[in-house]
Structure 1
Amino acid sequence: MTFRTDIPTESVTGHAPTEEELCTLREWFTHYDACAARGETAKLAELAHFPLNLVTDDSSGTPWCGQWSREQYLSVMGEVMGGGDDVAFEATRTPFFLGGSLAVVFTRSTMTAAGVSYQLDYADILVRTPEGWRFQTMVQSGWGEMMAQGAA
């Protein structure tokens, strides 16, 4: 994983992250990526702050926004992620800190599963709780139909 710090976050948000803030967020994503590669959906749910906000659009371009409970996340993401067999991720993440406990992270990722690669571009909003960083909002285009199923 590449963690970009060459774009000064304070030029966008006014907050210059400390080395500790950058380090803890980088470590969090390293752990998150390892769990995702193994298909450990329950461990990923432990890294979330529920209810989880979702922002996407469907195949016709119609926006869809909603929330998932922990149970909905486990159900839908368990199907999406499968068993974690032969899955690898390469990601470049660009964090923008709104403050010491709020960050918006843009990710460009390549997921390879069973020898087939997929380009993924998305953003996450993370909050820093006393237990550490947690993802709270997921933003990615093209998942509207699946998200709506999970919200049902």
Structure 2
Amino acid sequence: MTFLPDTGHIPSAEELAGIQEWFAVYDAHSAARDVERMADMAVFPLNLISDDSAGNGASAQWDREQFTETMSRVMGDGDGDITFESVRTPVFLSAAMAVVFTDSAMTVDGRTRQLRYADILIRRNGTWAFQTMMQGGWGDHLR
């Protein structure tokens, strides 16, 4: 009989801070619309899970080129300020894997939009990277 290891991981304060610091850098790249630096923080192929305008679940795998092309188009040309106010809840599956749930307010040119999403991050060589993004409403962009 094979015994699986105990599951779950109780993160240290340092591990929790590391996730928050990683997202602070990612949010800064997003606010600057620096899609190339955002892509540097991912593992490709990147898994995406969403739903489409018809209400169907959708998924895809993107390479770096597709990520940068789509995110550049979606984020626009850089006019107007973007700010994020986010509350993140990381759930560590191990010291090297975390699912991070985010409730965020994104403000662009004085208009605020509420967002809820989840990311799966993996830690490689001491550095976090996102490998899966999950958010409603992106399904039409996944084709």
Structure 2 length-normalised TM: 0.91
Query: In the alignment, is residue 118 of structure 1 matched against residue 113 of structure 2?
Result: yes
- 1:112–1:118: 8 Å Cα contact kept in structure 2? yes
Q: Which runs of 5+ in 2 are unaligned?
A: 1-6
Identical-residue share of aligned pairs (%): 51
What is the aligned-residue RMSD (CA, Å)? 1.2
The corresponding residue for 1:14 is 8
Q: Residues 135, 84 of structure 1: CA spacing in aligned structure 2 closer, same or farther, 3 A cutoff?
A: farther
Query: In the alignment, is residue 63 of structure 1 matched against residue 57 of structure 2?
Result: yes
Count of equivalent residues: 136
- Mark the structure with the bigger radius of gyration: 2
Superposition misfits of 4+ residues, deviation over 4 angstroms:
none
Larger proportion of helix: 1
The corresponding residue for 2:68 is 74
Distance in 1 of aligned mates of 2:79 and 2:49: 25
Shift of 1:64: 0.7
Distance in 2 of aligned mates of 1:101 and 1:135: 12
Shift of 1:85: 2.9
State the Cα deviation string for residues 37-61 of structure 1 (Å, max 9, x = none). 1111000000001100000010111
Distance in 2 of aligned mates of 1:131 and 1:22: 14
Structure 1 length-normalised TM: 0.85
